[in-house]
Amino acid sequence: MHWRSTIRGMAGIFHPYRWRISAIVSLTLLSVALELVPTVLIGLLIGDAVERVQAGEPVDQGSLFLAFGLIVGLYVTSSLLSVLSSYLETTTGNGVMYDVRQRMYDHLNRLSIHFFTSTRTGEILSRVSTDVNAVQSVVTLTFSSFVRSFATLVIALGIMIFLDWRLSIIAAIVLIVWLPPMWRIGQHMRGLQREWQEQAGGMQAHLQETLSVSGMMMVRSFGRREFEQERFSEANGALRSLAIRRLMASRWFFLATRLFGAVSLAVVYWWGARGITDGSLDLAEVITFALITQRVFGPFSELSQINTQLISSVALFQRIFEYLNMSVEIEERPDAISLTDADGVIAFENVTFAYDSVSEPALRDVSFRLEPGQMAAIVGPSGAGKTTTTYMLQRFYDPDQGRVTLDGHDLRDLTMASISGAVGVVAQDTTLFFSSLRDNIRYGRLDATDEEIEMAARAAGLGELMDALDEGLDTVVGERGYRLSGGEKQRVSIARAILKDPPVLILDEATASLDSRLEAEIRQATERLAKGRTTVVIAHRLSTVIAADVILVVEGGQIVERGPHHELLKQGGLYSTLYHSQFAKADGGVAVNQ
């Protein structure tokens, strides 16, 4: 992403806070001005007092006391304004951080499933947390410091010009000479910042993968602790190296700037001494100019360092905008229809779909129709397009050609809420959150009462588990539900679907890993759930295949055979082969009516 586009994007982020930012700038300018005035007064008073003493004239103590009171008052007022400015900076920084994080999370929720299957979870988390958190630092620390230092520099230079224009020209020339190396260092720091952010994101992704429950179990199962420790050590070492390079680049630049300021102050004293000697300057002017010069090169040194931070922050925002500027492939139309009380008539009409432009189509000219209450079993070899068909029905993707309809409406014409409300899923791999059993079931319908949740749980066969647990439905299931068995997790998925009560149901009913008794119980629960609903099943069991109203046999993304069980067996095609090699064996060679 080009840096100009990044700047425009940053302007858009900060635009809602423009009045607050204007107030921060105004308060900072006033605070700096009130802070610099005492510096001028001190210089003039000291110079005047010394000249009076040298001339043998009395020093007016009353005037000195009044001047002291004025100086204290100006410092107190400046400090109070600074506190008010800091409050505005903090609230603005947190507000911007909230907006960016919310905007990114909302945008990520709209991206296609393909994005999440092709991006490491840890990398996504790094963008949403680490990168966005750094936004607050840019606003509350970097930006405010930049404004204060820049205001100090500008006002101090104005005072210097007023005191002696010749010294001011010399100072301005020196400052201009220093700008090019400052810019080059800023560019270097920007590259290091981006590299550090990318390395940090990679390390967080590695942590997320290996320190999750499933990741840690796999690491230990394969005896890969030393291997993963070495991988982490390499990533951690690279991050350390980058951090040192960033710090040292900043410190060397800061040291050079301080040295530059010290030499410049020496030049001021040398020139001032010459001016006093030849009578072109008086002592008060030289002392005041020297004090102001110190105030100039302090902020200039800070400004040089802050500039590198501001330029480096562009890399931070570039990473954020890389996600925010991703196109949303599955978009809800402004005039989308909100379908309520769907009947459950679903149809695929000549649907062709490929996951990307270079891949072979996952579905090719697929067409079928199911009336309310009918069941379709989808069978076929691995990679044939079975799961893709269910993805299309949930509108995880849109067809490249053809359309998928619900009650005659193209899914692209319906609201996303209508689709998710009409379609329920019992997946092979049940996802559970680190929360209570009750909350995990309630995810099927958020407004469900506790009584409805308990009824759904018992209907799904969780009654025995609920009674055995000390905390019942309030038991926390652990990371990804690892406190539950495979069968219990599937029952939770069924309970969610029962609670949701959708007219269309998708079942991925793999139970090969369960014992025969539990498999039979899960089968009964899913059969009760599917009754009266339009159901699409990725079939793994012979009993389900036989019970289906229509069997869709897919191969290479196409429906190559369709019909009821006995007719497909008679054809002696792919289904017959799958039956004899997979279904019959899976069900222990159960005889069926042919």
Check pLDDT > 70 for residue 304.
no
For residue 590, what pLDDT is reported? Answer: 41
| Residues 563 and 377: beta-carbon distance below 8 Å | no
Mean pLDDT of 243-256: 74
For residue 364, what pLDDT is reported? Answer: 93
**The token pair that represents 223 in the structure block:** 């005896």
Q: In the structure, what pLDDT confidence band is assigned to residue 363 with cuts at 50, 70 and 90?
A: very high
- Buried-exposed string 419-432: b where 16+ CB fall within 10 A, e elsewhere: bebbbbbbbbebeb
Query: Any idea what DSSP says for residue 581?
Result: I
CA 454 – CA 473 distance, rounded (Å): 8
For residue 576, what pLDDT is reported? Answer: 86
CA dihedral of residues 220, 221, 227, 231 (deg, nearest 10): -70
For residue 217, what pLDDT is reported? Answer: 57
The segment with the largest mean pLDDT, out of 8-17, 119-128, 152-161, 259-268, is 8-17
Mean pLDDT of 448-459: 88
The pLDDT tens digits of the residues spanning 504-548 come to 988 886 554 455 566 666 667 777 777 778 989 887 666 678 878
Check pLDDT > 80 for residue 385.
yes
**Tokens 């840690």, located at residue:** 216
Q: In the structure, what pLDDT confidence band is assigned to residue 49 with cuts at 50, 70 and 90?
A: low
The pLDDT tens digits of the residues spanning 176-208 come to 766 677 667 666 776 777 777 777 777 777 776
For residue 593, what pLDDT is reported? Answer: 35
Residue 562: φ, ψ to 5°: -150, 150
Residue 39: φ, ψ to 5°: -60, -45
Mean pLDDT of 381-385: 85
DSSP labels, 90-146 = HHHHHHHHHHHHHHHHHHHHHS-HHHHHSS-HHHHHHIIIIIHHHHHHIIIIIIHHH
More confidently predicted of 569 and 580 = 569
| Residues 399 and 450: beta-carbon distance below 8 Å | no
More confidently predicted of 404 and 111 = 404
Check pLDDT > 50 for residue 591.
no
Closest to 369 in 3D by CA, of 387, 383, 350, 384:
350
Instruction: Say if strands 375-379 and 534-538 run parallel, antiparallel, or are unpaired.
Output: parallel
Count of CB atoms situated within 10 Å of the CB of 238: 16
What is the share, in percent, of the chain residues with pLDDT greater than 90? 11
CA 322 – CA 124 distance, rounded (Å): 11
**The token pair that represents 159 in the structure block:** 């005072």
For residue 300, what pLDDT is reported? Answer: 67
| Residues 300 and 160: beta-carbon distance below 8 Å | no
Domains and CATH numbers, the chain: 3-324 (1.20.1560.10), 346-586 (3.40.50.300)
Amino acid of residue 441: I
Check pLDDT > 80 for residue 290.
no
For residue 52, what pLDDT is reported? Answer: 60
* Helix and strand totals (H; E) in the chain: 22, 10
Query: Any idea what DSSP says for residue 436?
Result: B
Check pLDDT > 80 for residue 345.
yes
3 state SS for 194-221: HHHHHHHHHHHHHHHHHHCHHHHHHHHH
CA 109 – CA 113 distance, rounded (Å): 9
Sheet holding 346-353, edge to edge: 363-370, 346-353, 401-406, 409-410
For residue 186, what pLDDT is reported? Answer: 63
The segment with the largest mean pLDDT, out of 48-52, 164-168, 207-211, 356-360, is 356-360
Instruction: Say if strands 550-555 and 558-563 run parallel, antiparallel, or are unpaired.
Output: antiparallel
- Buried-exposed string 167-198: b where 16+ CB fall within 10 A, e elsewhere: bbebbeebbeebeeebeebbebbbebbbbbbe
Phi-psi region of 223 (alpha: psi -120 to 50; beta: other; left: phi over 0): left
Mean pLDDT of 65-91: 81
As to burial, measured by CB atoms within 10 angstroms (0-12 exposed, 13-18 middle, 19+ buried), residue 50 is middle
How far out from the chain centre does Cα 478 lie? 24
CA 314 – CA 186 distance, rounded (Å): 11
Residue 6: strand pairing partners: none
Per-chain mean pLDDT for the chain: 78
Check pLDDT > 50 for residue 589.
no
For residue 372, what are the CA distances in angstroms to 391, 419, 474, 507?
A: 20, 16, 36, 16
Check pLDDT > 60 for residue 231.
yes
Residue 347: strand pairing partners: 369, 405
Mean pLDDT of 118-138: 76
**The token pair that represents 161 in the structure block:** 């010009």
Q: In the structure, what pLDDT confidence band is assigned to residue 57 with cuts at 50, 70 and 90?
A: low
For residue 554, what pLDDT is reported? Answer: 92
Check pLDDT > 90 for residue 478.
no
CA 458 – CA 533 distance, rounded (Å): 20
CA 551 – CA 536 distance, rounded (Å): 10
Mean pLDDT of 22-30: 87
Residue 405: strand pairing partners: 347, 410
CA 317 – CA 13 distance, rounded (Å): 10
CA 368 – CA 575 distance, rounded (Å): 17
For residue 312, what pLDDT is reported? Answer: 63
For residue 129, what pLDDT is reported? Answer: 78
For residue 592, what pLDDT is reported? Answer: 36
Least confident of 3-7, 226-230, 294-298, 481-485: 294-298
Closest to 322 in 3D by CA, of 197, 188, 140:
197
The segment with the largest mean pLDDT, out of 43-47, 117-121, 286-290, 460-464, is 460-464
DSSP labels, 11-71 = HHHHGGGHHHHHHHHHHHHHHHHHHHHHHHHHHHHHHHHHHHHHHTPPP-HHHHHHHHHHH
CA 241 – CA 247 distance, rounded (Å): 10
Task: Compute the residue count for the chain.
Answer: 594
